[in-house]
Amino acid sequence: ADAQAAFKRWDNVYQATGDDRSPIWAKRHG
């Protein structure tokens, strides 16, 4: 559950880093 909150907090960061190396949040983004 903590991870989900973190992903939402750093949504912009992860998206900026690159969806390619972010398979975890990539799935949530669709």
Rounded mean pLDDT, 10-26: 58
Residues 6+ apart with CB under 8 A from 26: 19
Do 25 and 14 contact (CB within 8 A), yes or no?
yes
The terminus-to-terminus CA distance of the chain in angstroms comes to 19
Q: Does position 2 have pLDDT exceeding 60, yes or no?
A: yes
CA distance 18 to 1: 23
Taking residues 6-15, what's their average pLDDT?
A: 67
Q: What is the pLDDT of residue 17?
A: 54
**Residue 6 scores a pLDDT above 70:** yes
Q: Report residue 28: phi and psi, to 5°.
A: -70, -35
Average pLDDT estimate for 1-27: 63
Instruction: State yes or no: pLDDT of 5 exceeds 70.
Output: yes
